[in-house]
Structure 1
Amino acid sequence: MASGIEIRAAHFPGRAPIDAYGNGGFRFADMSHRGSILCLPSGIHGWDVSSFGDVGEADLARLLEEAAEFDILLVGTGDTLIPMPPQMRRSFREAGVAVETMATGAAVRTYNVLLAEDRTVAAALIAVD
C-alpha cells in the first residue's frame, strides 16, 4: 500500500463560471488554480502555458480532441490581445470551431456570459498577474 500524497493533473470535472482571475491564477467553483486553464465541456483543466507566444500545436491538442463538443473557442492571451497564428486558427476552423482571441479579462467575461446562455463554448485562458 502506497503512502504519501498523490499528485494528479489539475482538473475540475464540470463546467463552471470563472469567479475571479489575476494574481497568476483563477477562482471557480469555490476553488482556485494557480496558472493557466482550459475550460472544456469535460471540465476545467490546468494548462501548462504561461505565455501565448509560446503556445504550439501540442498545447492545443486537448482542445482539438474535444472540438466536436463546442462551437466557440475563446482564447485569453494574457494582459493584451495577441492574434492567433493563421495555421492554428485553420485547425480549429477545419474542426468546425469559431475562434475569438482577446485579452484574458475580456475572454473570462465573455466565457461567463456564453456559459450562462448555455452555449457550447470552451476557453483557453492564460493566467495574468
Structure 2
Amino acid sequence: MEIRDAHFPGRAPLDAYGNGGFRFANMSHRGSLLCVPSGIYGWDLNVAAEFSEEAFQKVFEERADIEVLLIGTGKDLVPLPASLKEKFREAGIIADPMSTGAAVRTYNVLLSEDRAVATALLAVD
C-alpha cells in the first residue's frame, strides 16, 4: 500500500463524491481518500479486498487522535476481516464499515461536531 503524494493539510468536509473521486476545499481528487487528523491523503486502494493492516498504517500512526474510523467500502457495505477489526479494537479505534456514500455523510456530521473522527473512502463511479 502506498499513500499518494496528494495531500491536503488539515480537515475539511467532503462536498461531493462519485465519478471515481471526491470534492473538498474547492478542489477535486480522483481516486480513493484517507482523511485523518493530519490531513486528507490520496489512498492507493480500489476495492475492499485490498484492506490490510498496512493499508491503514496512517490511521494506526494517528490513533491517539482518532476514536471513530468510518470505512467507505464502495457502493455496498463490505464487512472488515476479523483480524483487521481486532487490530482496530486493540488500537482503541471503533472501525465502522459502510457504503462510501454513508461514510461521507456521517464523516461530515461528526466533523461538524468536532469529534475525533477519521475516514477511509474507496472511490465510486
Q: How many residues align?
A: 122
Aligned mates of 2:75, 2:6 — CA distance in 1: 23
Unpaired segments ≥5 residues, structure 1: 1-7
Give the counterpart of 1:27 among 20, 23, 27. Answer: 23
Q: Which runs of 4+ in 1 moved over 3 A?
A: none
Per-residue deviation, 1:94: 0.7
Q: Percent identity?
A: 61
Per-residue deviation, 1:92: 0.9
Aligned mates of 1:90, 1:55 — CA distance in 2: 13
Residue aligning to 1:95: 91
Unpaired segments ≥5 residues, structure 2: none
State TM-score, norm by structure 2.
Answer: 0.95
Residue aligning to 1:75: 71
Q: Which amino acid aligns with 2:83?
A: Q
Q: Which amino acid aligns with 1:34?
A: R
Q: What RMSD over aligned residues (CA atoms) do the two structures have, in Å?
A: 0.9
Q: Does 1:43 align with 2:25?
A: no
Aligned residue for 1:10, secondary structure, equals strand
Q: Which amino acid aligns with 2:26?
A: D
Q: Does 1:13 align with 2:2?
A: no
- Indicate the structure with greater strand content: 2
Larger radius of gyration: 1
Aligned mates of 1:55, 1:95 — CA distance in 2: 17
